[in-house]
Structures are given as structure tokens and as C-alpha cells.
Amino acid sequence: MPVCLTIAGLDPSGGAGIIADIRSFSAFGCFAAVAVTSVTFQNTTGVFGAVHQTVDSVRRQIETVIDDYEIAAVKTGMLPTCEIVEAVAELIEKHSLKNVVVDPVIRSTSGFKLIEVVALQAIIERLFPLASLITPNIPEVEKISGIAIETSDDIREAAVMMRSMGAKNVLIKGGHFEEVKSGKRMAKDYLFLGKDLHILEAKFIDGAAVRGTGCMLSSAIAANLANGKDMIEAVRAAKNFITEAIRGAV
Ligand code: PXL
């Protein structure tokens, strides 16, 4: 069984973060290993706070796991401080970890700020160049690129900018992008493999009370890469999985 490692925050109510990642890894037949970066306090109504782990804790969680297991893929989520980002980048480099999916988490769906402003800068500078894929949503794209996203041309421009920041491949999740197609809102994701754009579409599922879909998507992609799929197939399989998860959401 391939081992996937998620380096992310804990949502004790099970919607987002590490618990969502474990569900994705398991769904695709991978064994889950975790490093907790922060313990958040939340439920279905919102996020009410967080206590971040020290950099020493995060480093030791990762090192102890890596010393024992061969890691087939890594997903990073909530990396709350500069120091934690730096340690994660160092360990990825030192151990030549492959199939690294970086989800540049900034805020929760409910608007709670999950990471420090300087941590985002560190994610861009240190982790983007080490990532096989980055998976920002539209608000994250706007923060990272400084471009207000209103059209699909804006999305292309932002993708070019993020590639110039060192990201090899970019998946921009269009769920927050209100594009109406023949009267139906679509969940349209923009996958830039290098310069090449692939558009992945599914029908937007209205009214589903869901959290953690971004977490689940990035970890599902990591699991599919761990299973040997190429990037486009990994993203396709992960998107289908998320669409079904949203359709079946409680
Ligand atoms: O969906 C972003 C996210 C990531 N990681 C953790 C979270 C959230 C949103 O609430 O709590 C731990």
C-alpha cells in the first residue's frame, strides 16, 4: 500500500484538514500518515480559534515517519507560520520527497484566517518550487497573484504569474467563480500543466452543506499520484471523487 503523508491542520469536527485528507487517502487505497501543524477549534458553524504546533513538533512528526516509511506522495495544507513552512521545505528537499501537492490554504470557508501573512510569502518562495502541483481556489489566487479574478483571462494571467513564482503545474479551483453556462453554474477547474491549459468541468451542485472539499481534492490528487497515475489522470480521478462526495454530502 503506498503511504501518503499529509502535513496539515486538525479540524476536530472532521470536516476539513487532516481528517478529510485521511478519508481521501483511504478512498484511493493509500495508507495515511500525518503531521499536525495546528489544532483548530471548529464545528459546522465556523472556526473559533487555533493553537499552532511548534516547528520542533512538526519537524519531529515528519522526520520520525520518514525514517520508517517510504513516502509515495505528500500533501501540504494549513502551514500556519513561516518557521513551519521553512522546516517542511527543508525536509522535502533533504529527503527528495516526490509527488508533492501544495494546497495554499489561507482562510477557512467561513473566513477564519488560518495562517500568518508572512507564512503565505514563505509558501510561495519555498514550497511552490518544490511542488508537483499547487491547488489554490479563487480567493487564494487573488491573494497570491494580486489579480482580481473576474474573467477566464484573469485566471490565465494569474496562472502565468504563479508559474513565474516557481510552480510547475497549477490547478485553479473555480468553485468560487460564478460562471454561468447555458443557465447552469458549473464547477470549472483550470489545470495548467506547464503552459498547457486543461479545463475540467462538472455541474455545480447547489445547496450542499460541505466543508473541506479543497482539502479532500488535493489529498485525492496526491493519493492518485502515489498510485502511479500521471498528473492529468490524477486530477480527473480526484475531481470525480469530490463531485460524488459533494453529491452524497450529509
Ligand atoms: O479548507 C481549508 C482548511 C484547511 N485546513 C484546516 C481547516 C480548513 C478550513 O476550515 O480547518 C485545518
**pLDDT tens digits along 13-32:** 999 999 999 999 999 999 99
Q: Cα(23)–Cα(28) distance, rounded to whole angstroms?
A: 9
HEC assignment per residue over the chain: CCEEEEEEEECCCCCCHHHHHHHHHHHCCCEEEEEEEEEEEEECCEEEEEEECCHHHHHHHHHHHHHHCCEEEEEECCCCCHHHHHHHHHHHHHCCCCCEEECCCCECCCCCECCCHHHHHHHHHHHHHHCCEECCEHHHHHHHHCCCCCCHHHHHHHHHHHHHCCCCEEEEEHHHCCCEECCEEEEEEEEEECCEEEEEEEECCCCCCCCCHHHHHHHHHHHHHHCCCCHHHHHHHHHHHHHHHHHCCC
| Atom 5 of ligand 1: nearest residue by CA position | 17
Residue 181: pLDDT band (50, 70, 90) is low
* Percentage of residues in the chain having pLDDT higher than 90: 83
Select from 114, 143, 242 the residue to mutate for testing ligand 1; criterion: most ligand atoms less than 8 Å from CB. Answer: 114
Is 183 a residue whose pLDDT tops 90?
no
* Percentage of residues in the chain having pLDDT higher than 70: 95
| Atom 8 of ligand 1: nearest residue by CA position | 108
How far, in Å, is the centroid of ligand 1 from the Cα of 34? 15
Q: Which atom of ligand 1 is nearest to the CA of 9?
A: 12
Is 204 a residue whose pLDDT tops 90?
no
**pLDDT, average across residues 37-54:** 96
Q: Say what the pLDDT of residue 83 is.
A: 98
How far, in Å, is the centroid of ligand 1 from the Cα of 187? 20
Q: Say if CB 113 and CB 106 are below 8 A apart.
A: yes
Give pLDDT tens digits for 88-115.
Answer: 999 999 999 999 999 999 999 889 999 9
Residue 177: pLDDT band (50, 70, 90) is confident
Is 207 a residue whose pLDDT tops 70?
no
Is 179 a residue whose pLDDT tops 80?
no
| Atom 2 of ligand 1: nearest residue by CA position | 108
Q: Which atom of ligand 1 is nearest to the CA of 213?
A: 1
Is 180 a residue whose pLDDT tops 90?
no
**pLDDT, average across residues 183-187:** 74
How far, in Å, is the centroid of ligand 1 from the Cα of 101? 16
Give pLDDT tens digits for 129-161.
Answer: 999 999 999 999 999 999 999 999 999 999 999
| Atom 10 of ligand 1: nearest residue by CA position | 108
**pLDDT, average across residues 154-183:** 86
How far, in Å, is the centroid of ligand 1 from the Cα of 222? 17
Average pLDDT of the residues of the chain:
94
What residues flank ligand 1, with Cβ below 6 Å? 8-9, 11, 16-17, 40, 42, 47, 77-78, 105, 108, 114, 212, 214-215
Select from 215, 217, 242 the residue to mutate for testing ligand 1; criterion: most ligand atoms less than 8 Å from CB. Answer: 215
Residue 155 neighbours by CB distance under 10 Å: 23
Q: Say what the pLDDT of residue 247 is.
A: 82
How far, in Å, is the centroid of ligand 1 from the Cα of 214? 9
Q: Say what the pLDDT of residue 171 is.
A: 98
Is 249 a residue whose pLDDT tops 80?
no
